[in-house]
Structure 1
Amino acid sequence: MATPWRLGPLLLAVIVALPLVVAAAGAWRSWQGVRREARVELTRSADAAAEYGMRVLVAYALAARQVDALIAGLSDAEIVARERELRAELRALVAELPQAENCFILDRHGAPLVASRPLPAPGQPSAADRDFFLEMQRPDAPAVHISRLHASRLDGRAFFAVSRRRSESGNRLPPGSFDGVVNLSVFPDVLAEGLRQFVASPGASILLLREDGGLLAWNAGEPPSAPPALPPGPAGARRRAGTVEGPEGLLHIAATRLEGFPLYALAYRPEAGILPLWWREVLPQFGLGLTASLALLGLGLLVRQHQGQLIAANASLEARVAERTAALREVTDALDLSPSMIADLEGRILHWSAGCERLYGWTREEVLGRRAREVLQTELPPGGMAAIDAAIARDGNWHGELRQRRKDGTPLIVAAQWTYRYDPLTGEPNGFVSTRSDLTALRRVERSVARSEASLRRAQEASGVVAFEIDHHGLVGTDPALPGLFGLPPGAPFDFATMLTKIHPEDVLRVVEEHRRLARQGGAFATEFRVLWPDGSEHWLLSRGEAEADPAAGPLPARIRGVCLDITGRRRAETALAASEERLRLAQEAAGLGIYDYDYVTGKVTWDARMRVLWSLPEGEEVTRRRFVAAIHPEDRGRRRAALRRAMAPEGDGVYQAELRVIGLADGRERWIALSGRLRFDGGRLVRLVGIAMDITDRKAAEARGLLLMREVDHRAKNALAVVQAALRLSRAETPAELVRIVEGRVAALARAQTALAQRRWEGAELRRLVEGELEPFLSPESVGAPRALLIGPALTIPAGAVQPLCMTLHELATNAVKYGALSAPGGLLTVNWRLEPGGRELTLIWRETGGPLIAAAPARRGFGSRVIQQTAEGQLGGRLERLWLADGLRCELTLPLRRQDAPVAVPPPEDDPASRPGSAAGQVPRPPSLVREVRPRSRVLPGQG
């Protein structure tokens, strides 16, 4: 007993120091724990800030796409012209984005076309040197670009831009050409309000950085003068963490990449800020350790005084150990029930549990001392025992699957876990301890499931169907082939936000609305939409499946399960077929063709819409052969039968052609129809007639008008010659020269009448032109103070039968005015006014002369011209003529009844009328000054003005 007493002081010192050592170890572990908790807290803050930033930027990207869709098809000039309207729509869009305050549309030179806020005066700053504008010009420009932090050239405020290229502009540039940028400005000080909510502890900061380290936003205050760099890590890594040296000392940093964007949310905290937390946790431990050391010191002194009591306590402890050993033996016996085995380093079995007896069928006596590989016919994994030994030496254990056989030869698949068994004296390994569990049934089920999945995959690959599932977070669990349907590499990261960026701008709102409906109602869905691949090609996809409504009323269903199929080929075929049918329909409409099909076997008659129009058969009424024949003009039915007999003749070619009249079944209108078709025979029996019908009413009318025009020209020529003969025979003059002048004037009047009729294809002549033509030879524009003429009246077309007599009447009136009236004196004025009387039954023309020689009384005798005027107005035109010789000039009123001639037609001038040409005012004829002028009623023409 002397030795323990000699060792007592040393043992007492160790015991007294032990609490302090434990406290120091605890302080070290507390320091590690505080640092670990700080990193975990920073990682959570970075993850939350990254999720927030990703959602904000996805909203900006969608907004940029909406702006691009808003201006699709518009040229730069059209955008500028619609600036006010577009600004209102951009302002409404920006109002929905709390962190954005402005939206710009830039042309391909960097100049702003329109913005959500009014642009400054012309010459506003260009964005051609900004990084977002330069990046968007590259051929490999990203779909969405996040710029560096810039200072606004308008108000100096810091911002960064979310940009995308303009697409489908109306500037007619070659495909793929750069044509400007859609740009949303995001202000860091507004974005900081959202980042501030993710700061979990005092002293921590959150930044939003570009992948190249550029600072975009910070949680509060002034931006850091030297923001910490991203921790080292592989490019594009989801998370990065570490410690770096900063101006304030060692910094703990955690960074999380924003999904879908080359940005990181970075949270950092100085290590100095962690020390107060550690001290608060460590000081109680040191106080407790010191107290425990003092207490142990007192206890150690008491131990020496009560050694006898300690011996008794040791005896009691040994008894308790024996009890625990017995309990451990019971546990060992229980463990024997599980399949476990002990073998030496050569693999000879030293222990074989009852569980192994049940698993393999070998008893303990049959296998002890034998090599386990030979008894169980074990197939080791690749690498054999060397690989197993290396794994145990490296990791302390090895676990894997082994293929073995039972005693009766039945194959087994077992999960084995091996560890070394060590010699208690030398500490060297002297064998293996292993446990087993039977996986045979599990692997059999897994192989069956794998075969089923392979069969399903082959069926999907053969049909092109790809299955997918979307949860309420927008995460897509899918077959690796689904990204390929959207133009992405197979297996690429894919979520709902990424899917929306690939959908055609014209379909994205419809897809979003469909998901909102499914979020509210759930149920089955079937949607077709377009996606745009990176090469610019457009593909159609069909999505079918079922959705579960979201109980929280979120924007996405709780879960969507379905399949997706590429139907581009089908849609292209449908589009090509529709285009072909549209071209056929347009060609038929342009040609006025109707298609008919008569089945002689069944008696069924099939018409298209044009045939119904030609026969005036109302929509919905049945087409029958009886109705077809009933509409044909009775005089032409024999012509149809004769054409059908010719086509059916054995020596004929089977072509059926006929021209006949049709009386519309509903409107009673008569139409000329040209029928053409081909007969089909089966064994000499007529079975079908298919052909076309064309409305040739206009052609027949033109032929009739041509024949009528030929007769009219012949009649007018004879009539003109007769009038010329009468003019020659009845004209009187004092000298031959005067006679020649008189005859030439009257023949010229007839010629002008013929010209006016020819211009209107002998259908009539415009009254204003007739008056101008007859007055123009008597007016001289070169003379100062020459007589003038004023014409007042609406645009009227005179029937062909009245043109020649009216021209002769106007010619004789103008001749008399030149000889005796207003046109014979300088400053004279002739006013010609016409109007249609109320009811439109009479045309009144008033000839009024003023400014000529004074008239003392009416002429004593009537000359040839006066007789021509009287006879033409009353005899040929059937009207009334009233002449008054007032002191200041002649007033002649001619009234023509419309019951004898066709009513004058109030129509615009013909296309060849100079008044209808560009540059002329409506109803005005460009002529030299002082010639015939056209003015509206109550207008006044001043002397010397044209």
Structure 2
Amino acid sequence: MTPDQGSSETMPGRSPAGPGSAAAEPAGWAADNLLPEAPPPPAMPRPAVTATTAARTARRLRRSLAWLLAGAIALPASILGAGAWLAWTAQWREAGVELARAAEAAADYSARSLLNYSIAASRVDDLLRGLTDAEIRDREAELHHELRALVTQLPQASAAYVLDRQGMPLVAADRLPVPQVSFAQDRDYFAALAAPGAPPVHVSQVYTGRFEGRRFFAVSRRRSNTGNPPQPDGFDGLVNLSVEPAPLADGLRRLTATSGDAIALIRADGAMLARTRDAEGPFPTLPPGSQFRRHAEAGTLAATYHATAAIGGEPQLIALRRLEQLPVYVAVIRPRSAIVAAWWEAVRPQVGIGLPAMLALLGLALLVRRSQLDLIAANDTLEARVADRAATLEEVSQALDLTPCMITDLRGRVSHWSEGCVRLYGYSRDEALGRMVTELLATEFPPGGRQGLLAALLRHGQWQGELRQVRRDGTRIVTGTQWTLRLDPLTGAPMSIVSTRTDLSALRQAERALSRSEARLHRAQEASGVVAFEVAEDGQVMADAALPGLFGLSPATVPTVGRCLGRLHRPDRAAALALRSRLAAAGGAFSLEFRVALADGAERWLLARGEATADPAGGANPRMLAGIILDVTERRAAETALADSGERLRLAQAAAGFGIYDHDLPSGRVTWDRRMRAFWDLPDDLPVTNRVFLAGLHPDDRALRRDAVRNALDPAGPGTYQVEYRVIGRQDGQERWIATTGQVRFAQGQPVRLTGLAMDITARKRTEQRNELLMREVDHRAKNALAVVQAALRLSRAESPAELVRIVEGRVAALARAQTILAQRRWEGAELQDLLQGELAPFLTGIRRDAPRAELAGPAVTVAAHAAQPLCMAIHELATNAMKYGALSRAGGLLQVTWRLDPAKRSLVLAWRESGGPDIATLPAGRGFGSRVIEQTVQGQLGGAVRRRWLAEGLACDIEVPLSRSGAAKALVLDGEAAAA
């Protein structure tokens, strides 16, 4: 069955059912609702489907659906089904691996935390060793401070209590004096530890404190070696450490693989101790019929299984890990909806392609499939009930034999050897029965030997302690041993000894490791410069010898709060005083960074962290304040330098206009800054994905970008990524050119990260395009000019070579002047007045009154680039004729050139009037080259008309050029074209 049918199955990569592995759970069982959204479900047992039944079901489905689907939807269904199934199994496999890793880490974290509390309880027991209840009450204040110092070292612990055998508190870490109220007799930890065969360490369910109202669970152990008279049952009170679930949940929350996962800490009996969601509770208790309880009762060490939540919840995938040496489990939960969402994201493109081809037939197939599955499920249910009842009986019989337990006679000869002893010591039943335990296990007894323990057992009926023994493989272990004397029910004479064992080797190793760790921590504090301190209510400071030096005081100075505050900068001193007032009123944890002024004028940054106890009398100082001080001057300097560097980088980036991108290749996560988003015109709330990137990329540039990425990701290459491409804005539709460069980082020969810069080069690209167009235009105009020069050379006539050179030079110079004027205007056109001034410049100054001169008058007119050269040639020929034969050839001659726009005809009219030149005796007999040039350029190229009249005072020539030619490009572009229209 697939996971979406609510079945329980072993995740891929796990071994079959057995200790430390996840077994296939019965389909349809009620789930362990470990998330806070739904209450714990009732037990609804449904047995597991056997492998034979599952195989038979699969064969039935294949036979019944083969003929229905083969002909019509075989190809699209196989492609779609295979892709979906591969994605489905991959998603579940990946989720199972992630949850298993998180469960391993959470179990390790929880085991270390609870082990610390157990060790702390042992330390409290050692602290009170040999003291009677009366002596503890007499020394309550002293013992309270020692317990308080111990509890502050535990991150999640909130209180510690020592109780006598009636449940009355003797001393507490958080209260002085402790209320004399019997408040523990109804707690499960008191009942468990007061009963015979009590465990070495007990973890209670979650309670609400009777004094402070906070929620907690207790880590407790019996008191030992007290000064009170020995008790018949060996119980003489207990040591209790209260642990708050919420801080413990905060530590577990950091171990989740995704934000949607949850972690719960649960006892083997289903009582929940902490969870990362709704950490404040109340917490549900998992019922006996739940999958979790079945795993716990079977002693499963690790399992990953599916579960169906109760009404109102949803299916979940759960990874379960048992804590070492404790009946407590860690469960890491991921909702099935999160896994399905990831799977759907992967298969959605496949569904979009294959679904239209098979949608109609799929509905019919599903109806048939549902009816067959219902029939098969009904048959499987009947078969599984029989198997389930047989398995339940087998589990009960096996569970009784799992505990390491042996029965010996009074001399120590084995008469019963449980399966738990087989696992603990390695000897089989046949090897152990009839053997002396002392010889078999090489037992080392406490002082007094076995006879002393036997005498104590005969006096009290039981004995509890530790023994050192040797396993079959030669490994030495430490066992927590509980001896109970069995008496003859008729005579009351001792019959045998029932002995239960617990392997304490790992606990003792952990205690030794903790001791070494504390020593290393002390050395590390000395090496790192951390200085511990305590401040009493009267302001006296108890600290390491290095504290005066941190505040710039001499080593001989006795540090006080006033002296230390006097060395602070004034703003920091005010903050410190305000903090002291707050701690005196409310207490709690604190953290403060401040500056200290040194004698040489320098300053030092210090960090103080710790915890304070409020003064109930309302004094100015806290009742107690303890913590550490660390010199953080170098860190502050580094932070300042880093901030300055970051600001310089930001300013440089803003000035350069760069955008920054970062692509995590294995995960596909893409990070863009604001400038990169602006290039694509993306809103801030839209996630950056590969789909969004490709949607904005110009289709013609996708192949170019794909080749650049392929080359950059090649491990044999330099890993450099450089490409220029176009981007279409998502909202404004604007096209932009982007130049991007980056570098790929490789790990073990595989690309893992691409980071780089991008820049908007749209302006540069447009400039390049304009320059290219301009170059083509220049090339075109140059060719035209050369063609005109060639025509001038071919048609020019003169009486002498010198005259020919002068004529050609003049005409070429006219073309060059037109070219220069056009180049100044970037070939967009030329001013008509500039063309006239270029030809008539010597006659426009009027330096001598009797010299020939020219006058120009007319509106601003811009001549298009393709019309400027022809018009310039016509003006040159008129000017040349005027200088040779007309008004500009003699003193007193006058040339007047005027032009105007004719709106009615949409034309430019240029009037050329000469006066004061030589008398014209006769009209010219024929047309020279100049006349032909004028007519050809004005009429042939510009589509205009030329009218020349030879008057007595000189030449009168009217040139009329249309503003645009019919069916052709515009001939003239006028500044006042709208007025002329």
TM-score of the two chains, using structure 1 as the length reference: 0.35
The structure, 1 or 2, with the larger RCO (C-alpha pairs under 8 Å, 6+ apart) is 2
